[in-house]
């Protein structure tokens, strides 16, 4: 019996359960070559895509199979139209046409068509396909679980005392600066924002005010009229914001009202006819970054003040979401 070789091509960012299903089907052949798009090609699609070396590593770590090898995909078609030793190719329903086009090219090159193995999409908990783009957009994890769950939408939760020390530590990079001139720390922070960041969210009256003072308007600003849990004596210029929302969120709690308004604010900031939006919280916004990171796309920059020290910048990524989900799960229903 002749040896079978399956070709697989793709970006393979945020290596997820759907990728695993695709490669499991390919591994029914004797050998599998996985052709992974280059960094240059991936960056044209989305600059947040992981480096090719990381994508190679995740595939190899998952497979642990010497019959599977990884290769660099330099163009649209890869080697499939010309490889006489290839016998199979794997696709999903929306990429089947590409495989059929490859087979047409093979026929023109006097080669046998490849046997097409079509693998249905794995579905996330919301019934939509698991995909790298959805993971980067922040709604699901690699297994298709939702970062925000149904229970989060209809119950108020209270912060447990065991999180006090953890939340007092900066969750991100601390930019230090004088307390009486917070613009110094803010300026240092904004100069460190990556070019690919899709959104800037500022939490706290002093943080939002300081950004406006140096000429930066956050996509979403969240304020509560307090600083160090006492009334803030400054004056915030709200004229730079295209819209305003208000919600209620008592100190030490996370409410469905805050969650809904943060979600609405981010949708508005991203919409074509939207713009910067200010969310005014009656109560406290200190815990809002937990919900922000769970809702936010990868690459979102969140700034918040660290009392007497400066400003903290945290960029939303997978680890941030995992940590915030664990913290939210530890909150109590009373």
Domain boundaries, the chain: 5-136, 150-330
Q: How many Cβ atoms sit within 10 Å of the Cβ of residue 82? A: 13
CATH class as words, domain 5-136: alpha beta
DSSP assigned state of 234: S
**What are the tens digits of pLDDT across the range 126-135?**
999 999 999 9
Q: Residue 309: CB partners within 8 Å, gap ≥ 6?
A: 170, 174, 176
pLDDT score of 1: 60
Tens digit of pLDDT at every position of the chain (334 positions)? 689 999 999 999 999 999 999 999 999 999 999 999 999 999 999 999 999 999 999 999 999 878 999 999 999 899 999 999 999 999 999 999 999 999 999 999 999 999 999 999 999 999 999 999 999 999 999 999 999 999 999 999 999 998 888 888 888 999 999 988 999 999 999 999 998 888 999 999 999 999 999 999 999 999 999 887 888 888 899 999 999 999 999 999 999 999 999 999 999 988 888 889 999 999 999 999 999 999 999 999 999 999 889 999 999 999 999 999 999 999 999 8
pTM score, whole prediction:
0.93
**Which of 238, 232, 183, 191 is closest to 211 using CA atoms?**
183
What separation in angstroms does the CA of 9 have from each of 36, 59, 70, 198? 6, 12, 10, 28
User: How far apart, in whole angstroms, are the C-alpha atoms of residue 244 and residue 223?
Assistant: 11
**Which of 227, 288, 226, 217 is closest to 257 using CA atoms?**
288
């Amino acid at each position: 019996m002749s040896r079978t070789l399956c070709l697989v091509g793709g970006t393979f960012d945020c290596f997820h359960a759907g990728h695993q299903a695709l490669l499991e089907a390919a591994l029914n052949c004797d050998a599998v070559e996985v052709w992974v798009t280059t960094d240059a090609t991936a960056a044209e699609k989305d600059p947040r895509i992981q480096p090719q070396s990381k994508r190679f590593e995740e595939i190899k770590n998952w497979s642990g199979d010497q019959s599977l090898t990884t290769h660099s995909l330099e163009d649209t078609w890869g080697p499939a139209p010309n490889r006489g030793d290839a016998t199979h190719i794997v696709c999903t329903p929306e990429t089947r046409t590409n495989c059929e086009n490859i087979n047409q090219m093979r026929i023109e090159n006097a080669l046998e068509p490849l046997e097409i193995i079509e693998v249905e999409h794995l579905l996330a908990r919301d019934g939509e396909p698991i995909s790298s783009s959805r993971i980067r957009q922040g709604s699901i994890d690699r297994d298709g679980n939702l970062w925000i769950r149904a229970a989060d939408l209809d119950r108020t939760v209270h912060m447990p005392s065991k999180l006090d020390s953890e939340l007092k530590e900066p969750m991100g990079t601390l930019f230090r600066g004088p307390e009486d001139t917070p613009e110094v720390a803010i300026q240092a922070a904004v100069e460190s924002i990556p070019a690919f960041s899709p959104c800037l969210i500022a939490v706290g009256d002093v943080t939002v005010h300081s950004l406006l003072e140096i000429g930066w308007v956050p996509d979403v600003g969240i304020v509560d009229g307090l600083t160090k849990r006492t009334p803030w004596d400054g004056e915030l210029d709200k004229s730079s914001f295209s819209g305003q929302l208000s919600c209620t969120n008592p100190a030490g709690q996370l409410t469905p009202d805050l969650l809904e308004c943060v979600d609405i604010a981010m949708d508005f900031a991203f919409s074509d006819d939207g713009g910067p939006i200010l969310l005014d919280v009656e109560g406290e916004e200190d815990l809002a970054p937990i919900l922000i990171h769970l809702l936010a796309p990868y690459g979102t920059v969140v700034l918040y003040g660290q009392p007497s020290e400066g400003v903290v910048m945290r960029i939303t990524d997978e680890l941030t979401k995992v940590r915030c989900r664990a913290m939210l799960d530890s909150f109590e229903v009373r």
